[in-house]
Structure 1
């Protein structure tokens, strides 16, 4: 965080038994905040009880004890925000599924930076149009000293609305107002939302891979096709706030000449608060796809000149899973895709084969990417790809996953 000169880290935690099974009875979101601007030094550690079974001061939610999955973080001048999707722990052990939607936790950022956990405000039971709201992603600021507008401070969030894994043309904009009160003993913040019309997006198909060396598949006798990559769904992914606008993207189905592919829908939203009322409109939007191939898991960053760069994984019949990016501020929407981390082989993991631990021949794939700006306005991106082992043999990782994370500094003018 450039304002406080601290590093903030979160992780989802579930109690385990001696064999490593996720059985509870408690679950937490763990927070680590560096004691200086050097991440190699010490950290202050905190935890938020996410069990929500009525014990330990938590609310009582359906199906719990529960855990907070995929915690996303955001910040404004005043607060630090975590949003996690709540599932029941029993589901991990074969029980029935309970999904209680996104849980938002708001706390003072300056207090965390000083080594203290202030009172945490927990928002739950968040409904949205036809269903429960999930993956409500808080915005991260990309500029030093840039604040979200509104009296007393405002933090913005975005979420998608495709509840039935089909198609939708709406997104939700959320605002948490009076965030300055988070540093007081009795925070007084209010969460509001507005739904706006957007371009259409929908549940993406699984992504294909270029054929290549697959030693694990060979071990099982090559009786199955090369596994596909899981594109998850069309939930909102990383949200950033820059120059008065929220930028984000999501995975979506796209129609190409040769059929359906996984593509990306992205949005630039201009939010504002006036008289306590939230308003928002689409400032820019578009799609990115690569002919005959798939792209997935977008994240957007903006450089000091306002160029928006989107990072993602590129894969398909022509590409091993690779780290790629594109400048998406081109008014003609003709985006030049650049590969910065070329993959060297297909994903070849146990979870992608029915002969092992897979289901339907689809392997998990990293879930999300990241993009941010440094103090000089440079954009740093991270996404998944298939790297080479130090020995030079294609592929890396373990029996369960071969993907790695590629990190790069890129420029908005499309130059790596």
Structure 2
């Protein structure tokens, strides 16, 4: 359709300090370093997408995403924005991998398509808004006393589940969870995420068995993702259900983990899967296999987390949401988008498209390039 021809593409660096360092087993994070993609069509539609690259997980940085985006923009300019499969195939043709920056383009293109269809994103993707989304809140890795204090504060603030970053020695991690349970009590839903920190299957099993008494809902990525062949052994020996995260990037990874019976749960992230197109395939595979699914993210603003929230409404097997990182920002540049309500409730926009944009005044201050 001539009116939906892509007329202009802009790429911006989104840099925002965090309120305090966010520490995981892979290292500390001090600031948001994201990329925003804005795609405009001839008929006046504008699509927004955001990615939050992660050097140690998807092998991308704000600089590589900003540069690779400049390979994509000239190739997409002049194409029909509604030819989603053709446009996304072109990104894969241009360069292998680079799932983070691909996800920003994928989301922006889907934003335009959903606006053109007059549907909110979740409905355009075949979903519904009949379930209420709740986010957990994450306790950063650190001294047991600080982690306990943070967990107590999050409980008092009404978050229905608390996620705890681990991945240290058995003794230190058990001490952390013991302190947190002493602070929040034995019943409040508690989840853990090692971010590959226990490395080997034997170490992971030992820690997980030592944590059995603390009533933990699930554990994300206990061992190095390169050791995915050992994950089924960890799952079989663990008293805590295992959720694959870093080892589940796209639908091919999901199919492999399912075939290996490696885990009972999958964590889907748009930045790992290259966007909605592949994320939905992961969800379909997981649902068919009877797995429980979570949708999470990296350090996206409310723009990227709005996309994640729409995804969470597309599949009934998605039962957990990890949408807390925008609450860690020192500044919120997003207009519209998801809203955080009491009790960890996440309210999703019902307007056509994504329903979120970035404040133009903020973008004017950013490093940028235009096509």
Q: Shorter-chain TM-score: what band?
A: under 0.3
Name whichever structure is richer in strand by fraction.
Answer: 1
- Normalising by the residue count of structure 1, what TM-score does the alignment of the two structures yield? 0.22
RCO (CA 8 Å, sep 6+): is it higher in 1 or 2?
2
Name whichever structure is richer in helix by fraction.
Answer: 2
